[in-house]
Every structure is written in structure tokens, then in C-alpha cells.
């Protein structure tokens, strides 16, 4: 393991490892190094690696550093994304597939990129299509974040289900989740934020063999506290990370500020 520069402290929360870094830049660098090392390890063992990525401003530093890493043979990477808005043009700058295409996929050229289609005529059929792709490839690594309401992907508390029988589904977004998109500067107003999305479900994300959860910023301090210290419940879906066998939560001093 390469030197973990900027690490302030680390500890266990259930089975998960929590790492707190001096600032957001160091956090992004460390998460990218950890993901690179695990991707290279898996490629060496089985010849390819499947990874799902989150699309959010919280992931900017992580994605920028990962794109600059030189050790990964990206031709051996199978890439997915966690979720996508319903009804938003695929080339819109807010579309999650476009977000990852601009920041990562166009730079590193993965061997395969599997995009969700939020404009499919048959949304249930699109969910089945994406489910088959995930089942065929498996999921080695999940690179994810946490929403202000505790969501993973768009599994907001009112639709999150730790025992969901589905792998991918269409959901109605709650107002907290939609308002976060405005707070983050993704949309200029709440009225412009789509009300529905396609998302990987909680069990689908949890089935990833390794999870790297990257969560910077003061706005996430309260939900980080709930994730690390509160009950494991769908009232804060991300709290389930404490039961994962190989998960690391990467924080900066701001997001960890309520942990004591």
C-alpha cells in the first residue's frame, strides 16, 4: 500500500474502515490510490475488473485523481454508473452518464462502458437490461458517495430496501434529494430537477466485493454522523456500510466534524 498522506485518523465502524483526511484534496488522492491498487490487483488475478461509479460533485477530486493514475489497464475495465435521471436528455450536462463520460470515461477509455438510458420508452425493460449486464459482469468495486438524506445512488429513505428483490428500479425522488441537486449547483432551481430516476438498488450496490465511499464537505457532516454512529436503518440507507466485509469510508475534516 502506498503512503497514506494527509491521513488524520482512522477507525472501524462495524466492519467498515473510516479514514479522515486533512482536506478534500488529500481525501480524493487517497481514495483514488486505494481504488487504483484494488483495480490492478483484481485485473492481475482475473484479467478484468468491473466497477460502478457515482456521479456527483462530491466525487470530483476522486475522479480527477483516478483519471490521472498510470497503473490501470483501462482496456480491462467494465464500467457502470449507479443511477440516471428519467426524462433528461442524455447529452444534458446534468445527466449522470454524461458527468462520468466527461470526467473519466473519455479520458481513460474503459474497455466497456454500460450506460443507463433514462429516456427509454420502456423503463422497466431498461431496468431489466441493466440488471442482465450487472449479472453477467458481476461487480468487483463500488465507488460511491452518500447523499444529504443518507441515500446510496437514488435509494432515498422512502424507497430504500436492504432486502430489495430488484437489482435496478425506477424511483420517485424525495424533495431532500432533489434540493441537494440545487445546493450542489447542478440545477438552477428545484422545478428543473427531474422527479424520477433509474437506480441500482441497495442490495445490488452492497453486493460489490469492495466499496470505496467518498464523502467530503461540511454539508455531509450530519449524515456522516448518522452513517457511522446511528442505527443501521433505511432511515439512513448508507448506514448499511457498517455491515460490508470490505468497505472504506473516505472523509475530510469537514464531513467528519461531528464524529468527535
* Integer Cα distance of 69 and 80 in angstroms: 19
Query: What's the residue count for the chain?
Result: 260
Indicate the helix (H) or strand (E) that contains 77: strand 77-81
Unique residue bearing C-alpha cell 444529504: 148
pLDDT at position 1: 43
* Integer Cα distance of 112 and 121 in angstroms: 24
In order along its 260 residues, the chain shows pLDDT tens digits of 456 889 999 999 999 999 999 999 999 999 999 999 999 999 999 999 999 999 999 999 999 999 999 999 999 999 999 999 999 987 889 999 999 999 999 999 999 999 999 999 999 999 999 999 999 999 999 999 999 999 999 999 999 999 999 999 999 999 988 998 898 888 999 999 999 999 999 999 999 999 999 999 999 999 999 999 999 999 999 999 999 999 999 999 999 999 98
Report yes or no on whether pTM surpasses 0.85: yes
Classify domain 7-252 by CATH number.
Answer: 3.40.50.1360
pLDDT at position 4: 84
pLDDT at position 176: 87
Residue 248 CA to its chain's centroid (Å):
12
* Integer Cα distance of 127 and 167 in angstroms: 8
Amino acid at each position: 500500500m502506498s503512503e497514506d498522506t494527509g491521513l488524520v485518523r482512522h477507525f472501524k465502524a462495524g466492519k467498515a474502515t473510516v479514514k479522515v483526511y486533512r482536506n478534500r484534496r488529500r481525501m480524493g488522492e487517497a481514495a483514488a490510490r486505494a481504488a487504483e491498487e484494488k483495480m490492478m490487483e483484481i485485473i492481475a488475478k482475473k484479467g478484468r475488473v468491473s466497477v460502478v461509479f457515482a456521479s456527483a460533485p462530491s466525487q470530483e477530486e476522486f475522479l480527477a485523481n483516478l483519471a490521472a493514475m498510470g497503473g490501470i489497464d483501462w482496456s480491462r475495465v467494465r464500467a457502470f454508473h449507479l443511477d440516471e435521471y428519467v426524462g433528461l436528455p442524455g447529452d444534458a450536462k446534468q445527466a449522470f452518464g454524461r458527468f462520468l463520460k466527461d470526467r473519466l470515461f473519455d479520458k481513460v477509455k474503459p474497455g466497456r462502458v454500460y450506460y443507463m438510458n433514462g429516456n427509454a420508452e420502456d423503463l422497466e425493460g431498461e431496468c431489466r437490461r441493466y440488471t442482465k449486464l450487472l449479472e453477467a459482469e458481476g461487480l468487483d468495486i463500488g465507488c460511491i458517495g452518500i447523499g444529504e438524506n443518507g441515500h446510496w445512488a437514488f435509494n432515498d429513505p422512502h424507497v430504500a430496501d436492504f432486502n430489495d428483490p430488484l437489482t435496478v428500479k425506477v424511483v420517485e425522488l424525495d424533495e431532500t434529494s432533489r434540493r441537494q441537486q440545487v445546493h450542489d449547483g447542478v440545477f438552477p432551481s428545484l422545478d428543473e430537477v427531474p422527479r424520477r430516476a433509474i437506480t441500482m438498488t441497495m442490495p445490488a450496490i452492497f453486493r460489490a466485493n469492495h466499496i470505496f465511499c467518498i464523502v467530503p464537505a461540511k454539508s455531509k457532516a450530519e449524515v456522516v454522523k448518522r452513517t457511522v454512529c446511528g442505527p443501521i436503518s433505511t432511515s439512513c440507507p448508507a448506514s448499511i456500510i457498517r455491515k460490508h466485509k470490505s468497505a472504506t469510508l473516505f472523509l475530510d475534516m469537514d464531513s467528519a466534524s461531528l464524529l468527535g
